Amino acid sequence: MKKKIIPLLVVGTALITGCNQQSSTSSAPVVAKADAIAEVNGVYIAKTTLADLEKEIAERAHGQTFPKEKLVEELIQRELLVQDATKKQLDKSAEVAVQLESAKKSLLTQADVQNFIKSNPVTDAEVKAEYDAKVKGENGTEYKARHILVKTEDEAKKIIAELDKGGDFAKIANKSSLDAKETQNGGDLGWFVAAQMVAPFSDAVVKLEKGQYTKTPVQTQFGYHVILREDSRAQTPPPLEAVKEQLLPYLQRKKVQDFVEGLRKSAKVEILVPLKDETDKTQAPASTSGETLTEEVAVGEVKDKDGKVVAEEVVVDEVVKDKDGKVVAEKVEAEKVAVPAKK
């Protein structure tokens, strides 16, 4: 039976994987025969190289495995290519040298981050402090409400007048609300805490009594709201153990971010290219005849064991356009805003 050439299973890592082998660099560790899976022209391929490849493929192929003989053959073919490239002195070419330097920097970046994480693990005390501040600290009142969202204040006032005459809130929401026309959910927002909503909205909900709706339109960056508070209840935060696994990676990322920011502050850096467009959009006046488009992107959230979001950070990206669709002003800022989970 003829052996088939096995294509590179992990594109772009052939040379990097080969770094564990003797032929790749003069500084590579020497592999003993007892610690090798194969010998290729006098060069031993380490067992650890096979283990790394198996792990890499399992991660990239979502748990899919390959027969060991195919992986061994893959590594043999990689070593043959490395040896052939070295014989042709391709490692000394300018193009390959740049790629090797880039790969080296990428590996060193990852190694430095991993070394920092290993040396600065997240402690139980840090997890507890974050829990008390971001999760347990939310202990208070949950609200259940509906809203009708429209573009203009006049539309909102007409809806309030219709409600004053006995109109059905859910039916009006399905007919008029910008975010209920398609879902036909009657404007239902479900249960939420005040901190999950933008300030004008949450302030209005808190002030309402059960069964009351706002008598004046509530303006936010999304438009004008008419809000009905249906109910409220005491909120019980999830226990620490239920959200600990969600808090750990968040705190780990925060530590790494602080570490990198510290390096940046202590470094002497000179930026040599322009970073802004010729026209500074943030200084341009907004047109009153245009429109404001606001986009929210969740950049961090903590969930309990049932998948419920208990804390969230959002980036608000606001762009103002004139009547011709030209961007005349824009603003990007991070704030603690959360939108109720979609049904």
Query: pLDDT digits over 68-88, tens only?
Result: 999 999 999 999 999 999 999
The answer to whether 46 touches 8, Cβ cutoff 8 Å, is no
- Residue spans of the chain under pLDDT 50: 1-26, 282, 284-299, 313-317, 319-320, 328-343
| Torsion angle of the four alpha carbons 247, 250, 255, 260, in this order, in degrees rounded to the nearest 10 | 180
Cα–Cα dist 70/66, whole Å: 7
* pLDDT given at position 218: 97
Looking at the domain that runs over 140-234, which CATH code has it been given? 3.10.50.40
**Which of 256, 217, 239, 248 is closest to 308 using CA atoms?**
239
Looking at the chain, the whole-number percentage of residues with pLDDT higher than 70 is 71
> SS in 3 state form for 285-337?
CCCCCCEEEEEEEEEEEEECCCCCEEEEEEEEEEEEECCCCCEEEEEEEEECC
Domain(s) of CATH 3.10.50.40: residues in the chain:
140-234
Residue-wise pLDDT tens digits, 232-279:
998 878 889 988 998 999 999 999 999 999 999 999 999 999 988 755
Please give the model's pTM, rounded to 2 decimal places.
0.49
* pLDDT given at position 328: 47
* pLDDT given at position 321: 52
* pLDDT given at position 279: 55
